[in-house]
Each structure stands twice: as C-alpha cells, then as structure tokens.
Amino acid sequence: MDKPEKKKELPFGPTHIQRYSYECSSCGYHDDIEDIVVDAYFFSQGCKTGEYPKFTSPKCHNTMKYVGS
C-alpha cells in the first residue's frame, strides 16, 4: 500500500509584500504602507493611473504623500 502524500503547507497571504513610503510635509512623519492598503485606497479615492492615494498623518492630521517605494 502506498503512503499518503504529505501536503506542503503554504503561508497564509502573499509571500512578498511591497511597501510604499509616505511622508507628511507638515510634521515629517514617515510610514511605509503595504501594497494591499495602497491598492484599496487607490480605488476608493478614485485615483487615476499614475496617481497615488493620499493618507493622513497620525501626528498632525495633514496629508501624507507618496515619496517612493
């Protein structure tokens, strides 16, 4: 009788997560935001191709903008 094949366990979720750097020009707060969050906000904010969504700084509540990957 053949031995049952052992199933390979895969981690939950993506194996590679890209992060986007955002910074507030007012207070200088910097954060790296995961790609899944950026993608969700891209569609909910109605961004056009080439635009990045905007986020709010938790320190001063002003707008944070994309500064790089």
For the chain, give every domain's residue range.
19-68
Q: Which token pair is 27?
A: 């207070």
Cα separation, 52 vs 42, whole angstroms: 7
Q: What is the pTM for the complete model shown?
A: 0.70
Whole-number pLDDT of residue 27: 97
Note the pLDDT of residue 69.
72
Classify residue 4 by burial, with Cβ atoms within 10 Å: 0-12, 13-18, 19+: exposed
Query: pLDDT tens, 10-52?
Result: 666 666 678 999 999 999 999 999 999 999 999 888 889 889 9
